[in-house]
Amino acid sequence: MAESLYWRNRELRKHVAVIDGVDEPTIVLKNSTYLNTYTKQWLRANIWIFKDRIVYVGDKLPENSSSAEIVDCDGLSLVPGYIEPHAHPFQLYNPELLAMHGARFGTTAFINDNLMWNFLLDRKKAFTLLEAFNQLPVSMYWWARFDSQTALQQREEFFTTDKVLSWLEHPSVIQGGELTAWPRLLDGDDRLLYWIQEANRLGKPVEGHLPGASEKTLTKMKLLGVTAEHEAMTGQEVIKRLQLGYQTGLRYSSIRPDLPVLLEELMAEGLQAFDHVTMTTDGSTPAFYENGIMNICIEMAIEKGVPLADAYRMATHNAAKHYGLIDELGCIAPGRIANINILQKKENPHPISVLAKGEWIIKNHQEQNIPPQINWGKYDIEPLTFDWDLDLEDLQFSVPIGLHMINDVIIQPYAIKTDVTLNVIPPDTDDAFLMLMDRQGKWRVNTAIKGFTNQLGALASSYSTTGDLVFIGKSKQDIMLAWKRLKELGGGIVLVNEGDILFELPLKLGGSMFAGSMAELMESERYLKKLLQDFGYPFNDPIYSILFLSSTHLPYIRITQQGIVDVKKREVLFPATMR
């Protein structure tokens, strides 16, 4: 710690030495018109950067700049790098892949979910990995989850007070939550309340997850220490959260693209103050990000009539202020990390050049060559290996209650009337076999699912809420073939029909994350979606449908490690079968 402090002291002295002309800046952005997010004004200035920091914003040019890169920004507009304040960086992509893709479009900071690290890594490896992420040009911060958002067989193994508090105390962790287990809190779970109090004591906000919550529930959650919320579905719900003192996120995601309507309703309501409003893409699936992340949200805000400075602040200053990062991010001012987007004009939030930590990500529309930096194997995040096998005896289905998909993520219970003792379920019904299998092969949960497909022989996926294996399909033989190929790949998603392998997406990073390029992943996701829709999938987001099969923060019934769970009653209707 002392060595780190001395290093920081030397760095700060260097910054002052640049101002005094003793040292040179590394980059000077001269003749800049930039957005001052404190005053909401567009001002003229020369901006000096030394390595990863902004050291000067004002009228002067440096006396000592013989080796500095001088960039004339006359006629251009500069804004702070954008912040994604609520990222789930594991939706097939990995956190580095998402971050570097987003940076190409100006999103240079991410506040990330840590849920996957709870399942994949021990704390020592996870914290070492967080340090590796700090070396990326993109600014990476994390949450500390308080719950798994599913019913685990051994919840205590993952979410103990010791583990949760060690995450909260980590300097890269700047938020508690998101709190999907809030009903437990209202029911008197004092351990959960203690964790919230500790987050508040550490000056770290707590993110709620309160879709459709009443004023009474919102008030109680505020009293118990929840400080932010992103589940508002109408403009009036946004305003109610703001009135109660919540930092309020507006969502634009692949599963809930609410932002345009929310903005229209907020403008119609005459909202004047946007200082406590942010925007988030909330862990969208890969192809949703084809044209960027927060730049798309800012564009929508501008189009819907949000004042220009506020539109940018919603994706910069507001998020930084909420997370206690305003001395690091969210503004163009001395001492801040040099995350800067250079725009063709003020009203166009899609940057022509991007600086992240003083490093060019995009320069005059040209993408810079920045090789991947995370050595995943060092953290044992590698292809899966299985020392067990699936057999036909595992494919016994006799539970009378199944899962009926109402939309992409809402699932109701239904009485299974189709004969699921057959080897093949006929195509005149949209029932299919559904099995959740322990990654270690120790247990399984067998039932049926209605509304996912009426034709497909089999889908096998190691991508799921907990990393356990999901099997869906009409044919037991196709399920066996899909399993065999999944095992050979070391994890991923495989589609089989009538003995033919139709699709495979290797997920070589822990069976959950892709190791190639974002362009390759987007193409694969689009093809997977088209195939599933050709085989009767009637909704829009099959990736989220698979992911949320086990997610107990959504109604009404789920398949989990414990078994088939009634979410509202929090009861296991049919327990998992040990193998």
Domains of the chain: 82-328 (3.20.20.140), 392-578 (no CATH)
pLDDT for the residue numbered 4? 63
Structure tokens at 466: 């907990």
The CA–CA distances, whole Å, from 270 to 222, 267, 310 equal: 25, 5, 14
Q: What is the DSSP string of 380-443?
A: T------SS---GGG-----SEEEEESSSS-EEEEE--S-TTSSB--TTS-EEEEEEE-TTSSE
Peptide bond into 488 cis (omega under 30): no
Average pLDDT, the chain: 96
pLDDT for the residue numbered 265? 98
pLDDT band at 3 (very low <50, low <70, confident <90, very high): low
Contact assessment for residue 26 and residue 358, using Cβ atoms and an 8 Å cutoff: yes
Distance of CA 336 to the CA centre of its chain: 24
Within 13 Å of residue 279, how many CA atoms lie on the same side as its CB?
A: 29
pLDDT, mean of residues 235-263: 98
The CA–CA distances, whole Å, from 86 to 177, 236, 281, 294, 550 equal: 10, 22, 7, 11, 21
CB atoms within 10 A of CB 415: 8
Question: For 337, which DSSP code?
Answer: B
Query: E strands within 14-157?
Result: 27-36, 41-50, 53-58, 69-72, 77-80, 82-87, 107-112, 139-144
Contact assessment for residue 495 and residue 456, using Cβ atoms and an 8 Å cutoff: yes
- Crossing angle for the helix pair 215-223 and 235-243, nearest 10 degrees? 40
State the residue for tokens 């800012």. Answer: 298
pLDDT band at 1 (very low <50, low <70, confident <90, very high): very low
Q: Which residues make Cβ contacts (< 8 Å) with residue 162, sequence separation at least 6?
A: none
Classify residue 444 as left (phi > 0), alpha (psi -120 to 50) or beta: beta
Distance of CA 391 to the CA centre of its chain: 36
pLDDT, mean of residues 97-105: 98
Query: What is the per-residue burial (b if ≥16 Cβ within 10 Å, else e) of 358-394?
Result: bbbbbeeeeeeebeeebebeebebebbebeeebeeeb
CA angle, residues 41, 43, 48, in degrees to nearest 5: 130
Residue 560 has pLDDT above 90, yes or no: yes
Residue 370 has pLDDT above 80, yes or no: yes
pLDDT, mean of residues 380-396: 96
Contact assessment for residue 238 and residue 246, using Cβ atoms and an 8 Å cutoff: no
Instruction: Render pLDDT for 430-488 as a digit per residue (tens, 0 to 9).
Output: 999 999 999 999 999 999 999 999 999 999 999 999 999 999 999 999 999 999 999 99
Longest dimension (CA), the chain: 83
pLDDT band at 76 (very low <50, low <70, confident <90, very high): very high
What distance in Å separates the CA atoms of residue 33 and residue 181, rounded to the nearest whole number? Answer: 46
Nearest to 92 by CA among 531, 529, 552, 564: 529
Instruction: Render pLDDT for 53-66 as a digit per residue (tens, 0 to 9).
Output: 999 999 999 999 99
pLDDT for the residue numbered 79? 99
What distance in Å separates the CA atoms of residue 574 and residue 435, rounded to the nearest whole number? Answer: 13
Q: Quick check: helix, strand or coil at residue 106?
A: coil
What distance in Å separates the CA atoms of residue 555 and residue 567, rounded to the nearest whole number? Answer: 6
pLDDT for the residue numbered 5? 60
Q: Is 228 exposed, middle or buried (0-12, 13-18, 19+ CB in 10 A)?
A: buried
Instruction: Render pLDDT for 391-440 as a digit per residue (tens, 0 to 9).
Output: 999 999 999 999 999 999 999 999 999 999 999 999 999 999 999 999 99
pTM of this prediction exceeds 0.75: yes
Instruction: Render pLDDT for 133-146 as a digit per residue (tens, 0 to 9).
Output: 999 999 999 999 99
pLDDT band at 8 (very low <50, low <70, confident <90, very high): confident
pLDDT, mean of residues 368-386: 96
Structure tokens at 22: 């003793």
pLDDT for the residue numbered 134? 97
